Amino acid sequence: MAATTRAIAITSNSTCSLLTKKKPFVGSQSTLCLNVSSSRTTRSFTCRAIYNPQVLLKEEGQPQSLDYRAFFVDQSGNKVSPWHDIPLQLGGGVFNFVVEIPKESSAKMEVATDEPFTPIKQDIKKGKLRFYPYNIHWNYGLLPQTWEDPSLANSEVEGAFGDNDPVDVVEIGESQRKIGDVLKIKPLGALAMIDEGELDWKIVAISLDDPKASLVNDVDDVEKHFPGTLTAIRDWFRDYKIPDGKPANKFGLRNQAANKDYALKVITETNESWSRLIKRSIHAGELSLV
């Protein structure tokens, strides 16, 4: 199947998001500007960057096939990594979020952390494509430039070690997004999921273009304006492996969602871990740093 491309949707109220061209933590000042679009139409905005190409999502292979890959590419066709090259912070408590799994879908899509340029693909187990046993009810994906270090034990969460992946985000807004969309989000809280002994943070967040975004600024606001959502998120991630005959996941921090400040601490710490990884201060193992 021929490769297809589409503009990465960021948010209709975005102005500009920057991609560091190479190794942002080692002093490079060259930047790329993402093309800004809504989910249906593309609109260009001014970007004060050294370079200003569009960045597109190039899909290779048939969706829900073993060879499907969604690569992020610049206007010249050069691949960039959604994990390493999209900046984490945009200032003012706003962060970039890369959508891997749109809400109300079940294909287990994820950034391929062990492949060059870390494209989005469908997870595979024993040679078969993986699906959740039921739809996920929120947009789900990753915070770029974060990493849960598997060599670090978290004394606040039962001494669990990181799961060797970027930090996950559960975006609770009303709109269904697309695979590869990059959204401006603000964190609201954090759930400390423990999956087979590994710490797998879930940052609860909302896209800035959601109608209720101005109403929610911390974890207590989620319960007020999205009643039952925190419990639903925790229960969904606790139970989704049970239909496959596996035990339920557990949660640290007394089984409760931590507040925004705690979520920001998690983001800062995992960004620092990613920085050490990308600088090769920590052995990368099979992870791709390209």
Q: Out of 51, 68, 132, 134, pick the active-site residue.
A: 132
Count CB-CB contacts under 10 A for residue 178. 14
Tell me, letter by letter, the H, E, C secondary structure of 137-149. Answer: CCEEEECCCCCCC
Round to whole Å and give the CA distance between 79 and 285: 22
Round to whole Å and give the CA distance between 191 and 97: 17
Q: Is 132 a catalytic residue?
A: yes
DSSP string for residues in 238-251: HHTTGGGTPPPPEE
Catalytic sites, residue numbers = 132
